[in-house]
Amino acid sequence: MSSGSSSGCARDGRAAAGPQDLKGALSEARYALASARTTAPDSSSVVDSSSLTGLDTLLTGIPAEVRTAYSHTVLGPLLDTCNASAAALLKTLESFLAHDGSWARTAEVLLHLHVNTVHYRIQRVEHCTGRDLSRLYDRLDLWAALLCRTPSATSDPRARSSTSPAR
The torsion angles phi and psi of 89, rounded to 5 degrees, stand at -65, -40
pLDDT digits (tens, 9 = 90+) for 113-165: 999 999 999 999 999 999 999 999 999 999 999 999 876 544 455 554 444 43
User: Does the domain at residues 64-160 carry the CATH identifier 1.10.10.2840?
Assistant: yes
Say if residue 154 is exposed, middle or buried (CB neighbours under 10 Å; 0-12, 13-18, 19+). middle
Out of 5-9, 24-28, 39-43, which region has the weakest mean confidence (pLDDT)?
5-9
Domain boundaries, the chain: 2-51, 64-160
Share of the chain above pLDDT 90, in %: 47
For residue 81, what pLDDT band results from cuts at 50, 70 and 90? confident
Position with higher pLDDT, 16 vs 112: 112
pLDDT of residue 59: 85
Question: Which ranges constitute the DSSP H helices of 76-157?
Answer: 84-98, 103-109, 115-129, 136-148
CB atoms within 10 A of CB 120: 13
**CB distance 46 to 121 below 8 Å:** no
Position with higher pLDDT, 72 vs 22: 72
